[in-house]
């Protein structure tokens, strides 16, 4: 059973040029106790989706349709107060700029207490003990609770953000690019902290990233987003080793690998379409080497556990063989 089921979610931003459909018909299922990677290129709507799930969209953004069913309740249909009550207790969001989102003029202890006492309703002594425990959990010395954020390195700040996000024992953590700004050793340490916590506390996690190697390292499942939609989703092993969608196939060849003899990197020519006036059919059609006439007319849909929104999903094995040839991706 899914802990979270998103159905046909649409999120728009009001802009002078008209509504930007940043999330445009997303279906997504998050099983309890799993880490799901959400990947896709810049501007495809990853942060918008994460924020919509948490109910923290910026002012210009609004949910224009669809459902977010979390533990049986549709968050979209709830009153703001009822929704916040669930979001604060059961969900947690680590924003893309978490490293810099800590309050620079407050010691970490005060920031932890604020969450634990004011939102969590703990007594002061209890909250202090819990804060130490949380720091310990993310691999920080509890002594450092009396430090200010600037006394921490980037990786330590990221760990502190994770400790804050876990303070109220959420069931689902949405982490937006938690390791992107970190160098590889610190990135690995933070990912390990997240993996261990996930396993020990049994929580579910959505890890937003644009790095498929990070997904391969840390996630159980992956959803690939393109131009406001999920185009492929499934268990990591299936999606990365046997991609069904041409965009996913392209990504796997564009990615540098530390090992292996294949020293060609193949770019995906072109850029994603504007979300102001998204194309009617498949959104990847303008860049897809396997495009057919019907692709431009009608949007393909997804079905099944490992699924992809592509008209040619039945031919995926042949397309994968073609996709492995660099010439396939040459600009037309």
Partner 1 sequence: MTALIDATGLEKIFRSRGRDVAAVADVSLSVGAGEALGIVGESGCGKTTTARMLLRLEDPTAGRIIFDGTDITTLRGAALLKFRAQAQLVFQNPFDALNPRFTIRRALAEPLNNFGVPVSEHAERIDAVLHRVRLTPPAAWLDRRPHELSGGQLQRVVLARALIPGPKLIVADEPVSMLDVSVRAGILNLLREARDALGLAAVYISHDLALIRYVCERTMVMYLGRVVEEGPTKELIAKPAHPYTRALVAAVPVPHVTQDRAQLPIRGSLSDAASVGGCAFRGRCPHAMKICTDQAPPLRSITPTRQVACHLEGAML
Find out whether 239 and 253 touch, Cβ atoms under 8 Å.
Answer: no
**Taking CB under 6 A as the rule, does residue 48 contact ligand ATP?**
yes
Return d(Cα 42, Cα 189) in angstroms, integer.
25
Binding mask 181-200 for partner 1 (x = CB under 8 A): -xxxxxxxx-xx--------
Which entry of Mg ion, ligand SF4, partner 1, none binds 310, CB below 5 to 8 A by partner kind? ligand SF4
Return d(Cα 3, Cα 5) in angstroms, integer.
7
**Taking CB under 8 A as the rule, does residue 108 contact partner 1?**
no
- Closer to ligand SF4 by CB, 156 or 295: give it: 295
Tell me the closest approach of the beta carbon of residue 270 to ligand SF4, in angstroms.
Answer: 12
Find out whether 78 and 65 touch, Cβ atoms under 8 Å.
Answer: no
Q: Is 317 left (phi over 0), alpha (psi -120 to 50) or beta?
A: alpha
**Taking CB under 6 A as the rule, does residue 39 contact ligand SF4?**
no
Tell me the closest approach of the beta carbon of residue 49 to Mg ion, in angstroms.
Answer: 9
- Closer to Mg ion by CB, 167 or 176: give it: 176
**Taking CB under 6 A as the rule, does residue 282 contact ligand SF4?**
yes
The Cβ of residue 199 has, within 10 Å, a number of other Cβ atoms equal to 11
The Cβ of residue 193 has, within 10 Å, a number of other Cβ atoms equal to 20
Which entry of partner 1, Mg ion, ligand ATP, none binds 58, CB below 5 to 8 A by partner kind? ligand ATP
**Taking CB under 5 A as the rule, does residue 47 contact Mg ion?**
yes
Binding mask 186-225 for ligand ATP (x = CB under 6 A): ------------------------x---------------
Of residues 241-260, those binding partner 1 (CB under 8 A): 241, 250-259
- Closer to Mg ion by CB, 96 or 111: give it: 96
Binding mask 42-71 for partner 1 (x = CB under 8 A): x-----------------------------
Which entry of ligand ATP, partner 1, Mg ion, none binds 97, CB below 5 to 8 A by partner kind? none
Tell me the closest approach of the beta carbon of residue 153 to ligand ATP, in angstroms.
Answer: 11
**Taking CB under 8 A as the rule, does residue 137 contact partner 1?**
no
Return d(Cα 184, Cα 197) in angstroms, integer.
20
Task: Using the rule CB under 5 A, give the single segment among 45-53, 217-225, 279-287, 290-298 that binds Mg ion.
Answer: 45-53
**Taking CB under 6 A as the rule, does residue 44 contact ligand ATP?**
yes
Report the interface residues with partner 1, using CB under 8 A: 41-42, 153-156, 182-189, 191-192, 210-218, 236-237, 240-241, 250-259, 263, 265-269, 271
| Footprint on this chain of ligand ATP (rule: CB under 6 A) | 13, 15, 20, 22, 40, 42-48, 58, 60-61, 96, 210, 275
Which residues make up the interface to ligand SF4 (CB under 6 A)? 245-246, 282, 284-285, 288, 290-292, 295, 300, 310-312
Name the residues that contact Mg ion, by CB under 5 A: 46-47, 96
């Amino acid at each position: 059973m899914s802990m979270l089921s998103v159905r046909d979610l649409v999120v728009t931003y009001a802009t002078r040029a008209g509504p930007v459909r940043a999330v445009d018909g997303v279906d997504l299922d998050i099983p309890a106790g799993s880490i799901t990677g959400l990947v896709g290129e810049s501007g495809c709507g990853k942060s918008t989706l994460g924020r919509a799930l948490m109910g923290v969209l910026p002012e210009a953004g609004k949910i224009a349709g669809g459902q977010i069913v979390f533990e049986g309740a549709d968050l979209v249909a709830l009153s703001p107060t009822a929704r916040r009550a669930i979001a604060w207790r059961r969900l947690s969001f680590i924003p893309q700029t978490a490293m810099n989102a800590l309050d620079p003029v407050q010691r970490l202890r005060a920031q932890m207490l604020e969450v634990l006492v004011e939102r969590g309703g703990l007594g002061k002594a209890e909250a202090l003990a819990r804060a130490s425990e949380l720091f310990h959990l993310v691999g920080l010395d509890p002594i450092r609770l009396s430090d200010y954020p600037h006394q921490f390195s980037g990786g330590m700040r990221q760990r502190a953000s994770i400790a804050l996000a876990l303070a109220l024992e959420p069931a689902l953590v949405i982490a937006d690019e938690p390791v992107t700004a970190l160098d590889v050793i610190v990135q690995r340490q933070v990912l390990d902290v997240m993996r261990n916590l996930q396993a020990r506390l049994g929580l579910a996690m959505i890890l937003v990233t644009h790095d498929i190697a990070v997904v391969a390292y840390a996630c159980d499942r992956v959803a690939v987003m393109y131009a406001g939609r999920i185009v492929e989703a499934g268990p990591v092993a299936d999606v990365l080793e046997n991609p069904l969608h041409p965009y996913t196939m392209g990504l796997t060849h564009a990615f540098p690998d530390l090992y292996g003899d294949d020293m060609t990197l193949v770019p995906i020519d072109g850029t994603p379409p504007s979300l102001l006036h998204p194309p009617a059919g498949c959104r990847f059609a303008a860049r897809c080497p396997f495009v057919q006439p019907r692709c431009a007319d009608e949007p393909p849909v997804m079905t099944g556990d490992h699924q992809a929104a592509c008209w040619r999903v039945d031919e995926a094995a042949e397309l994968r063989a073609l996709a492995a040839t660099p010439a396939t991706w040459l600009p037309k």
